[in-house]
Amino acid sequence: MRMLKLFTFLACFIAISFVIQGYFNHNHEKSKAKNSIVKSHQTDLEFKKFEVDEELNSPNDEKTVYLTFDDGPTSATTHILNTLHEFNAKATFFMLEPSMKEFPEAVHKIVEEGHGVGLHGVTHNKTLFYKSEKSALNEMTTAQETLEQITGIKTNLIRTPYGSVPYLTESYRKVLDRHGFKLWDWNVDSNDWSLSGKKYVNTVIRQIEKLIDAGETPIILMHDKENTANQLYNLLTYLTEHGFQMKKIEENTKPYNFNCYDRCRQLST
């Protein structure tokens, strides 16, 4: 009888031990799994935070600038094109009709190298160009036809002599707009026609920095002339080192026009 009780006691003790051991093992595994899930979740959160931080801390270094050259083509055009090619830069050339006839090879080279082409009229004489709405329209259509004859390309991009303010009044604008022309002014004046050497580059850089601080895209007015060509390398070096993409103006690019700018003044009567 004693042996039976002892056997029963031992059997119960062993069974209870197994139950207790199983309980602790189960809780231990649960704890390990929980810790693993927590660590994994923390890792995921850290990774996601890293991704967000990377996105927030990765500034968009690509900034656009439009280089534009007026009054060409000239004997300096090839020099300008070679420098642009060296920097893989694109520009837009607003050309005069007589100059296109004088330098047709330069016009072809501008197009072949993927630059933008625009019209600057015929006379570059404010008295003749702005004589009437018809005279302004005729100069642009004449230049348009000559460009098309030389290259087979028809462009609607125009820049009027001396810019649109103050001479291009509302009636002129309506006529040009009605014939599909897209008027372009500028917001950076290089003054390369009056500043010698590197001075025009320095004045351009100062204006660009102000525009970038204001969140505006620089549209640089330059001229197709030798002094401009000689210093262009320095300007393009600055633009490249500061992350600018030098693009041409497309037909579907939204035009920029003076909003009085610092050019508004009363017309003399």
The catalytic residue positions are: 70, 223
C-beta of residue 147 within 8 angstroms of C-beta of residue 111? no
Q: What b-and-e string marks burial along 75-113, b requiring 16 or more CB atoms within 10 Å of the CB? A: ebbbbbbebbeeeebbbbbbbbbebbeebeebbebbbee
Per DSSP, the three-state class of 241 is helix
8-state DSSP, 70: E
Which of the 8 DSSP states describes residue 195?
A: -
Structure token pair of residue 219: 């549209």
Phi-psi region of 219 (alpha: psi -120 to 50; beta: other; left: phi over 0): beta
DSSP alpha helix (H) spans, 103-251? 104-112, 126-129, 133-151, 170-178, 199-213, 226-241
d(CA 236, CA 86): 10
